[in-house]
Amino acid sequence: MANLCFHSPFLMFSLLCFQFTLCLTNFTTNDELALLAFKFSVKDPYNHLASWSNSSSICNWVGVMCDSHHERVIALNLGEMGLKGILPSKIGNLSFLLELDLHSNNLYGELPKELIQLHKLQILNLSYNEFNGEIPIWIGSLFTLQHFHLRNNSFGGVIPKSISNLSKLETLNWNGNLIEGFTPFEIGKLSSLKI
Ligand SMILES: *[C@@H]1O[C@H](CO)[C@@H](O)[C@H](O)[C@H]1NC(C)=O
Ligand SMILES: *[C@@H]1O[C@H](CO)[C@@H](O)[C@H](O)[C@H]1NC(C)=O
Ligand SMILES: *[C@@H]1O[C@H](CO)[C@@H](O)[C@H](O)[C@H]1NC(C)=O
Ligand SMILES: *[C@@H]1O[C@H](CO)[C@@H](O)[C@H](O)[C@H]1NC(C)=O
Ligand SMILES: *[C@@H]1O[C@H](CO)[C@@H](O)[C@H](O)[C@H]1NC(C)=O
Ligand SMILES: *[C@@H]1O[C@H](CO)[C@@H](O)[C@H](O)[C@H]1NC(C)=O
């Protein structure tokens, strides 16, 4: 075996890679810390998040999708899981996230301002939860957002004008909230908006 190693550069290389992978798996990434923060901030009565433990790669966790290099989380699909609790600010550390789908749970509280760090986000689905507070002005900084669904929550206040910054927005649904006043005039600037 040792002989083979020394005489086969390819095998040497594979062994090095193998060790390198071990090093990587031991390193607790910010993505993992963010996901664990989420797990600890919600009640999970049906144990949907049972696979969310540090004994396996986050890319194998239920509802988690990673990029092709298995390095960063690009999608969280946690709809209809009966999760109850608040969204922790650490979610904002998932900076490669393209899709955050939390629809049909019992999540409540205000949206953490740290979501502003998700600057690749294309889909944000918070429909059918109990989120409250105002729709934050900073939502206008999520420039890549294409689908923004807030249906059936308890958001109040007015729709912020900054929503007109979301030039890629295609669908927007805020029915079934406590929103007051009129849809801002600026929404007319959203040329991609279909629904
Ligand atoms: C990874 O962690 C395990 C358990 O803590 C340890 O035994 C092992 O030496 C570590 N591997 C590397 C490559 O650091
Ligand atoms: C997982 O985390 C727990 C608690 O933080 C720790 O006690 C345990 O050693 C960790 N296991 C692995 C395989 O890293
Ligand atoms: C992770 O999130 C925490 C809380 O929002 C923040 O203090 C920290 O700077 C973040 N780390 C990175 C690397 O973004
Ligand atoms: C968000 O979730 C609702 C409820 O299931 C669904 O009707 C809607 O199509 C979803 N939107 C997106 C963009 O995934
Ligand atoms: C977003 O829109 C608001 C109001 O229309 C504007 O004042 C603000 O400068 C814009 N924000 C960014 C980050 O471009
Ligand atoms: C959604 O909100 C509407 C209006 O408030 C309400 O009539 C409906 O029952 C809600 N649907 C669900 C599934 O909660």
Q: Are 94 and 34 in contact (CB under 8 A)?
A: yes
Residue 67 maps to a domain? yes
Distance from C-alpha of 81 to C-alpha of 28, rounded to nearest angstrom: 26
For the CA of 57, the nearest ligand:
2
pTM of the model: 0.79
What are the tokens at 53? 């433990």
Reported in sequence order, the residue ranges of 48-176 that DSSP labels E, i.e. its strands, are: 64-66, 73-77, 84-86, 99-101, 106-109, 123-125, 130-134, 147-149, 154-156, 171-173
Is the CB–ligand 5 distance for residue 184 below 6 Å? no
> What's residue 145's pLDDT?
95
Average pLDDT in the chain? 86
Backbone angles phi, psi at 169, to 5 degrees: -65, 125
* pLDDT over 90 (residue 26): no
Band (3; pLDDT cuts 50, 70, 90): very low
- pLDDT digits over 156-171, tens only? 988 888 988 999 999 9
- CA distance readout (Å), 169 to 33, 85, 128, 129, 191: 30, 28, 20, 22, 8
pLDDT above 90 (res 178)? no
16 CB within 6 A, ligand 1: no
Q: Is the CB of residue 93 below 6 angstroms from any atom belonging to ligand 3?
A: yes
Cα–Cα distance for residue pair 195/170, rounded to 1 Å: 7
- Is the shortest distance between the CB of 93 and ligand 4 below 6 Å? no
Q: What percent of the chain has pLDDT over 90?
A: 62
Pairing assessment for the beta strands 123-125 and 99-101 based on DSSP bridges: parallel
Q: Which residue's alpha carbon is nearest to atom 10 within ligand 2? A: 54
Token code pair at residue 13: 């290389």
pLDDT class of 1 with cuts at 50, 70, 90: very low
Residue 194 inside a domain? The answer is: no
In a domain, 151, yes or no: yes
Residue 37: strand pairing partners? none
pLDDT band (50, 70, 90) for residue 190: confident
164 located within any domain: yes
What is the spatial distance between Cα 68 and Cα 185, in angstroms, rounded to a whole number?
A: 41
121: number of Cβ within 10 Å: 23
Which amino acid does the sequence have at 192? S
What is the pLDDT, as a whole number, of residue 55?
73
In tens, the pLDDT along 59-72 reads: 999 999 999 887 89
Answer whether 81's CB lies under 8 Å from 44's CB: yes
* Ligand 2 contacts CB of residue 25 (under 6 A): no
For the beta carbon of residue 158, count every other beta carbon within 10 angstroms. Answer: 13
For residue 133, give its domain range: 2-189
**CATH number of 112's domain:** 3.80.10.10
Percentage of residues in the chain having pLDDT higher than 70: 83
pLDDT at 144: 95
Instruction: Give the nearest ligand 1 atom to 23 CA.
Output: 13
How remote is the CA of residue 161 from the centroid of ligand 1, in Å? 51
Query: What atom in ligand 1 is closest to the CA of residue 26?
Result: 1
**Which residues contact residue 98 at a Cβ distance below 8 angstroms, ignoring those fewer than 6 apart?**
74, 75, 120, 121, 122, 123
* Residue 76 pLDDT level (bands cut at 50, 70, 90): very high
> 28 in a domain, yes or no?
yes
Residue 159 Cα, ligand 4 centroid: separation in angstroms?
A: 20
130 within some domain: yes
The answer, yes or no, to whether residue 2 has pLDDT greater than 50, is: no
Q: 148 pLDDT band (50/70/90 cuts)?
A: very high
- Provide the domain count of the chain: 1
| Residue 55, ligand 1, Cβ within 6 A | no
Average pLDDT for residues 24-48, to the nearest whole number? 87
* Domain-located, residue 195: no
Best-predicted range by mean pLDDT (26-30, 93-97, 164-168): 93-97
Q: Is the CB of 54 under 6 A from ligand 2?
A: yes
With 90 as the cut, is the pLDDT of residue 125 above it? yes
